[in-house]
Amino acid sequence: MSRQLTRRDAVKSLVAAATATALADARVVQAAADDSRLQVDLAPRFELSPYLYMQFMEPLGVTDSSVEASWDHLQNCWRPDLIAATQELAPTMMRWGGIFTDFYRWREGVGPRDKRTAMINLMWGGLESNQIGTAEFVDFCRQTKSEPLMCVNFEGDGRRQYREAKGRVRWGDAQEAADWVAYCNDPDNAERRGHGVADPLAIRYWQLGNETSYDDRGFSKSQAIAKTIEFSRAMRAVDPTINIIGWGDSGWAADMHDQAGEHVDMLAFHQMFNPDNGKDPVLQGEFYRRDPAATWDCLMNAWRLNDAKIRETRDSLDGRAVPLAMTECHFAIPGRNRCDVLSTWAAGVSYGRILNNHQRHGDVLKIATAADFCGTRWQVNAVMIPVPHGRSYLMPVARVMKLYRRHVGEQSVEVTHAPDGLDVVASRTGGKLFLHVVNANRERSVATRLELPGATAAKATAFEIADDPMAEVSDLNSDEVMQIKERRLAANGAWEFPAASVTAVEVELAA
């Protein structure tokens, strides 16, 4: 038997095992292959947060110059092509955070640029100039109409390796965090006004630290809970209206809520996942090009890992009503530190399923993402920045986020029946219904018939991306591949969705 077949058989075995364990819990509604009904119950279920399409920016040093490459150092402004690409993406929230938070001192990134101190990037290597700091980040958010979310230095999350660098203390305490809130939100803050920024920056969302439970050299759970209370009290003494996000991963959520719940508004968790077969990989490096069918099978089931992580976090709360924030989430596939397969449309369809899964959990999931934000080569980013020249462009994940972001309702409604192969979620705003439809068949279109018990459709429009699953986007073809196409659908609900497609459908309901 050829290696190609062996690898594909291995993937099929993994898929079968994952399906067997997840099928009873899965919320993807499936029907028999000969049943084309797409049935939606229009009764509102819960409010959907606008922040399910967040991005986050982090200085990644020599790994991927995500911040330094974003800034035009000659003109002292953001690269116009990055602003344009981000406006096209239209993220609802932008997070300034990541592991660099553990050694980031915010005062090094404010005030006159010629007096700012460069920062040694203790995680990713190299130096960060701090030419992009608080005011610049908020300016970016305003230009792209994104809500800013700041991560504060949470005493380095207790990690001793980030305590100091070359004799300079890198941890920030609760007073420093409170000072940052004052700098941003106090209308009369003398420090900010002295830097020529008269108006408050008005940052409403703040996360304490980053991945506090992921390092056994950091805070214990009890220490993190005590620090959460300390930081929250200090920050809210300055501005009691801010929203504070504490850490709730690794089984910490219940105790964090029980002991510090009155001090935080949400609990955060992260997910980096690899659906590949470790013994006989299909996705890593350039392997994904060798067997497109095996690559497709593997990617189409990645959403199950995403679902399992969200359910694990939900289950750890044991019924406690706590809003959750998935402030980092992306594939983590080995291969030249790039995850090359993520440039393919097959990955875009996979991300469609993941974003559908986020919406299904929207009763508790209030902030979510499925990518990092921007960079020069690490392809988990949503936006790629060609260097030294070129125009920034959207990766497949960003194209799906852009599509969903522009066509989504305010309230979740239930898809009670869908044809085999279609992954569908639904929402509505008043008299308009929105469907997010992923055809998980690589080579087969799926016909369906919309049924709306108690209602009828007056008009329907599809906004659709359908392409060769192995098509790859780059700065050379970004205007040619994976394009959104608009088409009118029959009002009687007799529709067909092409193979390997992600579609947002808007349905105007008859009065």
Average pLDDT over residues 196-220: 96
Q: Looking at the predicted structure, is the pLDDT value of residue 14 above 70?
A: no
Q: Would residue 184 count as lying in a domain?
A: yes
CATH no. for residue 452?
A: 2.60.40.1180
Q: Would residue 26 count as lying in a domain?
A: no
Are 208 and 337 within one domain?
yes
pLDDT value at residue 9 = 47
Residue where a domain terminates, one of 407, 436, 464: 407
Q: Hey, which bits of 48-91 come out as E strands?
A: 55-57, 71-72, 77-78
pLDDT value at residue 6 = 43
* CA neighbor of 503 nearest in space, from 432, 373, 431, 406: 406
What is the C-alpha radius of gyration for the chain, rounded to an integer number of angstroms? 23
Are 343 and 387 within one domain?
yes
Q: Which amino acid is at 276?
A: D
Q: How far apart are CA 423 and CA 425, in angstroms?
A: 7
pLDDT value at residue 34 = 57
Tens digit of pLDDT for each residue in 130-153? Answer: 999 999 999 999 999 999 999 999
Q: Would residue 323 count as lying in a domain?
A: yes
Q: Looking at the predicted structure, is the pLDDT value of residue 5 above 50?
A: no
Q: Looking at the predicted structure, is the pLDDT value of residue 55 above 70?
A: yes
**What three-state secondary structure class fits 229?**
helix
pLDDT value at residue 278 = 87
Give the structural domain span for 177.
Answer: 55-407
Are 292 and 428 within one domain?
no
Residue where a domain terminates, one of 407, 432, 466: 407
Q: Would residue 40 count as lying in a domain?
A: yes
pLDDT value at residue 23 = 42
Q: Would residue 13 count as lying in a domain?
A: no
Tens digit of pLDDT for each residue in 268-297? Answer: 999 999 999 989 999 999 999 999 999 999
> Would you state the structure tokens that stand for residue 291, as one six-digit string?
């067997």
Are 475 and 354 within one domain?
no
Q: How far apart are CA 197 and CA 47, in angstroms?
A: 36
Residue where a domain terminates, one of 364, 385, 407: 407
Q: Would residue 4 count as lying in a domain?
A: no
Instruction: Compute the mean pLDDT over every residue in the chain, rounded to the nearest whole number.
Output: 93
Tens digit of pLDDT for each residue in 97-140? Answer: 999 999 999 999 999 999 999 999 999 999 999 999 999 999 99
CATH no. for residue 160?
A: 3.20.20.80
Are 42 and 77 within one domain?
no
Which is more confident, 148 or 336? 148
* CA neighbor of 41 nearest in space, from 391, 312, 418: 418
Tens digit of pLDDT for each residue in 379-432? Answer: 999 999 999 889 999 999 999 999 999 999 999 999 999 999 999 999 999 999
Are 370 and 426 within one domain?
no
Average pLDDT over residues 349-357: 98
Q: Would residue 10 count as lying in a domain?
A: no
Q: Looking at the predicted structure, is the pLDDT value of residue 30 above 50?
A: no
pTM of the complete model: 0.92
Complete edge-to-edge strand list for the sheet that includes strand 372-375? 372-375, 381-384, 393-394
> Would you state the structure tokens that stand for residue 467, as one six-digit string?
């392409």
When divided into structural domains, the chain yields a total of 2
Backbone angles phi, psi at 172, to 5 degrees: -120, 140
* Run of H or E including 136: helix 134-144
pLDDT value at residue 335 = 84
Are 401 and 446 within one domain?
no
Average pLDDT over residues 474-486: 97
> 484 with 399: CB under 8 angstroms?
yes
> 77 with 490: CB under 8 angstroms?
no
Are 361 and 499 within one domain?
no
Q: Would residue 17 count as lying in a domain?
A: no
Tens digit of pLDDT for each residue in 417-460? Answer: 999 999 999 999 999 999 999 999 999 999 999 999 999 999 99
Are 218 and 323 within one domain?
yes
Are 358 and 503 within one domain?
no
Are 289 and 246 within one domain?
yes
Are 221 and 341 within one domain?
yes
By DSSP bridging, strand 393-394 and strand 381-384 are: antiparallel
pLDDT value at residue 451 = 97
